[in-house]
Amino acid sequence: MMKTSISWSLPCILVLSKRTSSFSPIRIQSQNFSNKLLRGPRGWSLSLSSTHAPHPPASSEAFTEQNKLGSVTLLIPSTDEDAGVYRSKFGEKSPVSCPSYLSAAKQLARKISHFSDGQIFTNVVSASDNDGDKDACLKANALIALGLTSPTDIRCLSEIFRERRTKQSLSPTPNMCQFAVECGTNTYAPIVGPYDEANPSIFATLVPWSDEAFGKRLSEQMNDLFHKQTSDEFALALMLFFNRFSGYNVPWVQHSIDVTWEKGIVQNAKEIFAMITKCGPCIAKCLNDDNCSQCIKALDKIDTRDQVTSYRTVVSFESELLRDFSLCILQKNNIFECKAEIPTLPKVKPMSTFRGKDMTTETARGIIIGHLADTKESLEV
């Protein structure tokens, strides 16, 4: 993995994003904004723009071509969430602690929008007999039930999942998935693309390059990410799904440096050959070094598209050999043909004042140093 220093012009460019926005009580429409950002570890955002337009209000408009990747519906308990009857584990590590499911779903919807650059339409609906809410659940490409545990809500969940499963069996579509998260001990047999845990195909096990096998592996990976109970991993899971089954590439997870069945034998062989011929000496030195080889083994156990986990792994084994290894493979030769554009979301307003005074280069630099004091984090990514 490559570690490259971020350089910038100060002042007025640093902001630890609070990422707030206004939303309607139930339905949330992803919005598009234009701005330039660099994303650091754990969701920090560095704004490179000195202009700002107010966030438009949330909309409940129908799915449009702008949201070409697909749609997500988050199904939350029918109980008044702001009354705090049920609390979500998403956000329990944040200063807010365990939020209501409505608050958690709103934040998850925001993250889905940010990760997809506004390409995914997200609904938040409650488990009820409301025809509009039920229709949103049945039509969504991805349906994620969150925290449904009451008998009434469970009946609603079971009915909707059953209808979607029936529809999928009669008219299969690859761009469809459903999961139940924090809904008791029953997993309600997830569906990911052509893979249905309740009715698994023999191809899912015996033919690892088949779509059914892709769906099975992704189902297990998404389930693991959901149960980490962070908004970043939640959004990542959905990006992996849409990248695989929507028919479009999702820039956030489009490129992978891993050897996978999804890439295919030809692409894997091409990349391995390029690594050996262009970076052979660097690879040999790294593999013969205990620290460097341990890092490679650790990265091999994870999906390197999980940027948070990858970052934590790399900074645990930093060395000159690892730097040279990454520099040759990822930057000088771009073995994996990766490319990335600066995301347009979230739109963050740069700081113009600090403690009642205008922001200056000296003050901005001092804020950076101050926020990094006594931490293990770095603004080098």
Query: Does the structure show a pLDDT above 50 at 185?
Result: yes
Query: Does the structure show a pLDDT above 50 at 223?
Result: yes
Query: Does the structure show a pLDDT above 90 at 341?
Result: no
**Measured distance CA(73)–CA(186) in Å, rounded:** 20
| Between 174 and 86, residue with greater pLDDT | 174
| Pick from 72-76, 169-173, 190-194, 344-348: least confident | 344-348
| 103 Cβ neighbours under 8 A, 6+ residues apart | 81, 82, 88, 91, 96
Query: Does the structure show a pLDDT above 60 at 166?
Result: yes
For position 275, what pLDDT does the model report? Answer: 92
Tell me the two tokens of residue 378. Answer: 């770095």
- Phi and psi at 196, nearest 5°, equal -120, 115
Q: Do 23 and 55 touch, CB atoms closer than 8 A?
A: no
For position 56, what pLDDT does the model report? Answer: 31
Predicted confidence band at 376 (pLDDT cuts at 50, 70, 90)? low
For position 128, what pLDDT does the model report? Answer: 80
Q: Do 1 and 321 touch, CB atoms closer than 8 A?
A: no
**Measured distance CA(151)–CA(159) in Å, rounded:** 12
A 10 A CB-CB count for 81 gives: 24
**Measured distance CA(18)–CA(41) in Å, rounded:** 15
Render pLDDT for 3-56 as a digit per residue (tens, 0 to 9): 333 333 333 323 333 333 333 233 333 333 333 333 333 333 333 332 333 333
For position 121, what pLDDT does the model report? Answer: 92
A 10 A CB-CB count for 1 gives: 22
pTM for the model stands at 0.72
Instruction: Average the pLDDT over 182-202 and give the result.
Output: 91
Q: Which among 86, 231, 198, 61 has a CA at the least distance from the CA of 150?
A: 86
Query: Does the structure show a pLDDT above 70 at 85?
Result: no
- Angle 294-295-297 from CA coordinates, rounded to 5°: 65
Instruction: Average the pLDDT over 135-146 and give the result.
Output: 95
For position 87, what pLDDT does the model report? Answer: 82
The kind and range of the H/E element at 71 are strand 70-76
Q: Do 251 and 333 touch, CB atoms closer than 8 A?
A: no
| Pick from 43-47, 95-99, 316-320: least confident | 43-47
**Measured distance CA(366)–CA(351) in Å, rounded:** 13
Query: Does the structure show a pLDDT above 50 at 57?
Result: no
Query: Does the structure show a pLDDT above 60 at 372?
Result: no
Q: Do 120 and 242 touch, CB atoms closer than 8 A?
A: yes
**Strands 177-181 vs 191-192: parallel, antiparallel or unpaired:** antiparallel
Q: What are 162's strand-pairing partners?
A: none
Render pLDDT for 153-164 as a digit per residue (tens, 0 to 9): 999 999 999 999
Q: Find tokens 């804020």 and name the residue.
A: 367
Predicted confidence band at 66 (pLDDT cuts at 50, 70, 90)? low
**Measured distance CA(148)–CA(98) in Å, rounded:** 16
Q: Mean pLDDT over all residues of the chain?
A: 78
For position 145, what pLDDT does the model report? Answer: 96
**Measured distance CA(373)–CA(275) in Å, rounded:** 39
- N-term to C-term CA, the chain: 10
Q: Do 317 and 261 touch, CB atoms closer than 8 A?
A: no
For position 314, what pLDDT does the model report? Answer: 87
The DSSP call for residue 341 is -
Instruction: Average the pLDDT over 324-350 and give the result.
Output: 86
Most confident of 2-11, 37-46, 64-73, 179-188: 179-188
Render pLDDT for 275-310 as a digit per residue (tens, 0 to 9): 999 999 999 999 999 999 999 999 988 888 888 888
Instruction: Average the pLDDT over 216-237 and give the result.
Output: 93
Rg of the Cα atoms in the chain: 22
**Strands 45-47 vs 37-39: parallel, antiparallel or unpaired:** antiparallel
| Pick from 107-116, 130-139, 192-201, 240-249: least confident | 130-139
Q: What are 357's strand-pairing partners?
A: 354
Predicted confidence band at 133 (pLDDT cuts at 50, 70, 90)? confident
Q: Do 127 and 152 touch, CB atoms closer than 8 A?
A: yes
- Phi and psi at 261, nearest 5°, equal -65, -35
| Between 81 and 145, residue with greater pLDDT | 145
